[in-house]
Amino acid sequence: MFTGLIQTVGQLTLLDPEHVQVECPEASKQLILSGLEIGDSVAVDGVCLTVTEILGNGFVADISPETLQRSTLATARTSAKAVNLETSLRVGSKLGGHFVTGHVDGLGHLKSTTQTASSWELTFTTDSSQVARYILSKGSIAINGISLTVADCNDQGNWFMVAVIPHTYAETNLYYLRPGNPVNLEGDILGKYVEKFMRSPHANHDITPNFLAEHGYL
């Protein structure tokens, strides 16, 4: 489990079809390597990978063909890729973002980036219905592992916009994105559980906004 708060940006290289190497920047490598052990999980651009070897400046992790097929990590086949890194959430740690599992639902693509007086506005599109169904205004979305809030979206959820503060833009790989570039997307896990519950034949379908308001949930 992760929070979507990126600790540093590293460089990922595909060693072979089953292993990747991640190199951490010298100035911030201890944010990732301090206390890291073989078998630990690290979110790499929002993809949960298991550490199999620890290096002086990074680590090696296993990767499956399924992960390569369903994420942007396969782009490291041709050259090193800048990736957002976050170690797993520890009991007692601050939860400043939202619950991120590291299980990517699908891919999206950057449509445009616009700088405003106080932020960067990034718009994305996605062809994945598995992602779009969980996108709603003011809801949470993980983009390349970054916990962000949907500022605007269409009814289908296949177009959405996020507002990114300058710190997040500069300290993550959003800085490197150009229109058309793919990104990993993960919908809010809480929305998935609610959807699952509401589809259940045992669900109370009398739950409405008025019901929730009467019982202190709105």
Residues 83 and 110 in one domain: no
Residues 47 and 115 in one domain: no
Residues 112 and 181 in one domain: yes
Residues 24 and 59 in one domain: yes
- pLDDT value at residue 99: 87
Residues 82 and 125 in one domain: no
Q: In this structure, is residue 197 part of a structural domain?
A: no
Q: In this structure, is residue 96 part of a structural domain?
A: no
Number of domains in the chain: 2
Q: In this structure, is residue 43 part of a structural domain?
A: yes
Q: In this structure, is residue 196 part of a structural domain?
A: no
Taking 90 as the threshold, does the pLDDT of residue 82 lie above it? yes
Q: What count of other Cβ atoms lies within 10 Å of the Cβ of residue 134?
A: 22
Structural contact between residues 119 and 164, judged by C-beta atoms closer than 8 angstroms: yes
Residues 64 and 134 in one domain: no
Structural contact between residues 145 and 105, judged by C-beta atoms closer than 8 angstroms: no
Taking 70 as the threshold, does the pLDDT of residue 169 lie above it? yes
- pLDDT value at residue 104: 94
Residues 83 and 142 in one domain: no
Q: In this structure, is residue 194 part of a structural domain?
A: no
Token pair listed for 163 = 């507002």
Q: In this structure, is residue 116 part of a structural domain?
A: yes
pLDDT top residue among 214 and 42: 42
Mean local confidence (pLDDT), 62-87: 93
- pLDDT value at residue 218: 54
Taking 70 as the threshold, does the pLDDT of residue 202 lie above it? no
Q: In this structure, is residue 21 part of a structural domain?
A: yes
pLDDT tens sequence across 11-67: 999 999 899 999 999 999 999 999 999 999 999 999 999 999 999 999 999 999 999
pLDDT tens sequence across 100-151: 999 999 999 999 999 999 999 999 999 999 999 999 999 999 999 999 999 9
pTM: 0.88
**DSSP state string for 105-169:** -EEEEEEEEEE-SS-EEEEEE---HHHHTT--TT-EEEETTEEEEEEEE-TTSSEEEEEE-HHHH
Residues 15 and 50 in one domain: yes
Report residue 92's pLDDT band, with 50, 70 and 90 as the boundaries: low
Residues 121 and 180 in one domain: yes
Q: Give me the CATH number covering residue 46.
A: 2.40.30.20
Percent of the chain with pLDDT over 90: 77
Q: In this structure, is residue 218 part of a structural domain?
A: no
Residue with tokens 């929002």: 46
Residues 17 and 81 in one domain: yes
Contacts of 121 (CB under 8 A, 6+ apart): 113, 114, 115, 151, 161, 162, 163, 164
Domain that holds residue 175: 106-187
Residue 186's nearest CA partner among 11, 31, 44, 14 is 44
**DSSP state string for 182-218:** EEEEEE-HHHHHHHHHHHSTTS-TT--HHHHHHTT--
